[in-house]
Structure 1
Amino acid sequence: MGIEDFKDGLPESAYSHDQVSRWLGRIQLSASYPQSPQEFPKTEESLRTLMRCQITTFPYENLSVHYSKSHLVDIAPESIYRKLMGPENGGRGGYCMELSIFFYHMLRGLGFHVYMTGIRNRTRTNGVPGGEYQGWTHINNIVHLPSGDKFSVDVAFGGDGPINPLPMVDTGNPVQNLGAQQVRLVHETIPKQGLRSPLWIYQYRNGAHLDWNSFYSFAEIEFFQEDFEVMNWFASAKTLHRWNVLVVRFLREGEDVLFDDKFKARRDVDQVKVVGKVMLVSDVIKVNLGGKTNIVHTMKTETERIKALRDYFGIQLRKDEKESIRGWDMALQ
């Protein structure tokens, strides 16, 4: 499949030109990039910059599963925009369905040839993938550039996600991720398949001398908003999101581990560098600055977790959100 397979008159973005422009300002994209969809460069470099700006601006988080009255996630594009970009957003991000749908519409607003697809994750033991591929519980964007190259652009796999667009090529070339970690896509079948047609498989290794391990698989099938509405209920209610409070903030070069409202990335920098990540997993804060992941803070009460959300992620929950976790099984003391 190539860019010539896209129909004339691509689906319009759910977001207006003004909304896309506000997003470009929010992610602190260099002023050297034009905001016009016709003029915005459709290159690997510009796509990489947009991806890195996105993942270092909006935290990956599933707080709506735990800190809301419904304990459900609203993935309507306009609801996502209000949550991430509204005047009272409180530093919020979202989980995979929210962030990837949001990014899809922003890329469409800039004129990229992009479509969304579903992903099958593997089961894990102690965080390490090693089990069967499960049903559709994740989401991805596939981008076709005028050059003929195509990329997987996953901005919402949390701390295990890539920090660069991954080329969809059969050679499976390694791409450097954080620290010594390498990631890649390979085009192979998975054990439970009955068909011979290969899938794209996202793999990682935590050093060039180690074996590759697989996180997830996907096919080049276009998914629609309606498909993700079906997937969203199960993903937020019946997977790890239901049993863990998760937040991940990727760190841009020049940014501190602790959130600083005064931090402003230099707008004249075209090359955005991702240098680490800070993570909240239920009752602990973990930090990885390109090497080993270390626990730096432990929380015993909701008061402590609310403070950690503000200090490490810049997230400030509203009063009703804080109160909605009362009686919920994932609440701390």
Structure 2
Amino acid sequence: MVLAIDINGDCSDRHRCKQSEVLPVDGQLREGLWIKTVPSAYDETQVFRYLCRIGFPGNWSVDSVKDFKVDLDNLALLMRLHIVAFAFENTAMHYAKDHAMDISLPGLYQRLVIEGKGSHCFGMNTLFLQMIRALGYRAYSGSGRLNTAAPEAPPTFITFTHQVLFVQPVQYSNTTYVVDVSGGGSGLTRPLLLKHGAKVVGATPSEWHTLVKAARYGSSLSPSFDSKESADVEWHLIISRTSDDGTITSKLLCSIIETEFFAMDYECSNISIYTGAWAEKEPLFMHNVVCSKSFWLCDEEMEREVAQMGGVPRWDGSLNARFLGRLGMLNNEVKRHVGTRSETLRIFRNELQRIDGLREFFGIEVPLVDMENIRGRLAALELP
């Protein structure tokens, strides 16, 4: 910042103190930053097995991984296949002997790619980051603060316990997208352009996500010397849904900052989550067994969703155009969500039923012997 100072050492009336502003460019990181190409922690064999696990179209081999086409369309497809293949879930913190949720790179590869289980946002996005880096994408990991308040209430943010990714999928371009493959019930299902007001459709056209540049609540930062306004230093991710009667409801999901975060940052936050340090502020994980997984709509459901949109051309049959539904389990109830419709599929009365349900609906195997590890926890159902 350059100041005009008079001989008495004060800012002159003629040259008021001003902050040299670098105006943001739509779709770019602050100051037009570029993301470097960073080697992946996973090798070609691991990436090949990942592509097979998520069912990425094509005849892949260990040697052909290096020929993967890096572009926005394939990034979107990878993202959608990932949240269909893997569940957002916290079963390890309740059924594992140590009650820990492992987000180490070897642990995530074993749990997701080899065993077909899931993880929470730290695990899902950490694995995805390393896989897309191996495929040639320029990306890094950021963080966000979840809003725990009700939709109509003022935001209440907890600390940085959410992970997102920033990706520049176009060669020789620093156009940037926000990616989140957590796979939870309100999460992104497609890349979202880093632009104020950018929107992207959600699982179906009845929901959409919007990104807004905003000031941090309670911030001491200002855009200029004499401004009374707070500076727009973070991004707010908002989900909106329309009901059958046309009513639109919106909720601020989280605030996101562009600062790069690293493995140790997530490890520290992860420990606070599975040990219950944040249970008083956000009891969801400690008080419940949580599981959510996306699925592709069948042709009949697709036709119904397209018809409800009115005047929209028939979908082209591609996976990037096909809509998604979600299966969600909160403690003892499994629901199926498609567009504006939800139905209860199963209610569990004991741990044996819930373990069967985890396998049936989400493909997650919990050994019967591990039931004993949930005994005495708030999330436990009736045990033998």
Higher radius of gyration, 1 or 2: 2
Deviations 1:36-86 (A, max 9, x none): 565322221111000000000001101011111111111111111111122
Q: Which residue does 2:34 correspond to in 1?
A: 5
Deviations 1:122-176 (A, max 9, x none): 1134x88753122111101110122432111100151110111111112x13221
> Distance in 1 between the 2:174 and 2:321 partners?
24
> Distance in 2 between the 1:192 and 1:37 partners?
47
Q: Which residue does 1:16 correspond to in 2?
A: 43
1:130 to 1:307, Cα distance in 2 relative to 1, 3 A: farther
> Distance in 1 between the 2:157 and 2:357 partners?
34
- Residue 25 of structure 1 is aligned with which of 37, 48, 52? 52
Match runs of 1:79-158 below 5 Å: 79-86=107-114, 89=115, 91-125=116-150, 130-145=154-169, 146=171, 147-156=173-182, 158=184
CA contact (8 A) 2:288 2:378 kept: no
Q: Which residue does 2:334 correspond to in 1?
A: 285
CA contact (8 A) 1:123 1:129 kept: no
> Distance in 2 between the 1:40 and 1:4 partners?
25
Q: Which residue does 2:357 correspond to in 1?
A: 308
Which secondary structure does the structure 1 equivalent of 2:158 belong to?
strand
- Residue 241 of structure 2 is aligned with which of 206, 210, 213? 206
Q: Which residue does 2:368 correspond to in 1?
A: 319
Q: Which residue does 2:102 correspond to in 1?
A: 74
> Distance in 1 between the 2:90 and 2:40 partners?
25
CA contact (8 A) 2:200 2:209 kept: yes
Q: Which moved more, 1:23-32 or 1:51-60?
A: 23-32
CA positional deviation for 1:320: 3.6
CA contact (8 A) 2:146 2:255 kept: yes
Q: Which moved more, 1:69-78 or 1:128-137?
A: 128-137
> Distance in 2 between the 1:128 and 1:72 partners?
34
Which amino acid counterpart does residue 124 of structure 2 have in structure 1?
Answer: L
CA positional deviation for 1:308: 1.0
> Distance in 2 between the 1:67 and 1:218 partners?
31
Q: Which residue does 2:12 correspond to in 1?
A: none
CA positional deviation for 1:231: 0.9
Give % identity.
27
Q: Which moved more, 1:316-325 or 1:226-235?
A: 316-325
1:174 corresponds to 2:177 = no
Which amino acid counterpart does residue 289 of structure 1 have in structure 2?
Answer: V
CA positional deviation for 1:323: 2.9
Q: Which moved more, 1:185-194 or 1:58-67?
A: 185-194
CA contact (8 A) 2:120 2:182 kept: yes
Q: Which residue does 1:39 correspond to in 2?
A: 67
CA positional deviation for 1:319: 3.4
Q: TM-score, normalised by structure 2?
A: 0.76
CA positional deviation for 1:209: 5.7
Aligned-residue RMSD, C-alpha: 2.6
Which secondary structure does the structure 2 equivalent of 1:324 belong to?
helix
> Distance in 2 between the 1:51 and 1:256 partners?
24
How many residue pairs match? The answer is: 316
> Distance in 2 between the 1:245 and 1:272 partners?
32
Deviations 1:264-301 (A, max 9, x none): xxxx9664634201111001111101222332321110
CA positional deviation for 1:20: 0.4
CA contact (8 A) 2:359 2:365 kept: yes
> Distance in 1 between the 2:365 and 2:290 partners?
15
Q: Which residue does 1:331 correspond to in 2?
A: 380
